[in-house]
Amino acid sequence: MALSREQVAMRVAQELQDGYYVNLGIGIPTLVANYVPDDIEVMLQSENGLLGMGPYPTKADLDADMINAGKETVTAAKGAAIFNSADSFAMIRGGHVDLTVLGAFEVDQNGNIASWMIPKKLIKGMGGAMDLVAGAKNIIVTMTHASKHGDSKLLEACSLPLTGVNCVKKIVTDLAVLEVKDGAFHLLERAPGVSVDEIISKTAGKLLVDGEVPEMVF
């Protein structure tokens, strides 16, 4: 079966390493804050000016003035710092973010990402994604493998306006974990109960499968 949003976030959380500074984008990426492993310490950054995000608040912890870049209420972890947006983007543009987790409309086999607009649809703006994909040391994308109409989101070439070029290193979808390198998607893991054949059928770009593909473990 395809993974839930929470399971995708749980799998992404396994990519975190002790001491990382991590930016979490809007949508599924924000859920990663709830699944940071207990044996590591990471600092989660929000581009609106918070370094040290904690998990989503309970009713008792809720503070309407404490929000992330998606205007969701969040908590501050021990040692958190609050600063203005200009300083936040100086941190991003200065290359001080180890990992960015972003959602996307499309990713192609060369690591290009389209995440900020669909032509002829109303958008709020490009947000901070273009700075993040240019400034972060590593980019992981979370997304559904295919659209609600069944069209693949993993393409030979993106059809939508690009957010960044040759920047995506890894993708966690509701069906699989894939690495992007050498002009192809490399299948690393599959969701429990999902066959390799299903993943192949829903991947429009070049997909390489090397031997047995293990199921994800949570």
The number of residues making up the chain comes to 218
> Residue 177 to residues 63, 102, 128: CA-CA distances in angstroms?
35, 15, 25
List 15, 41, 47, 156, catalytic entry: 47
Residue 51 CB partners (closer than 8 Å, separation 6+): 21, 43, 44, 45, 80, 81, 82, 83, 88, 91
Residue 47 is a catalytic residue: yes
The residues assigned a catalytic role are 47
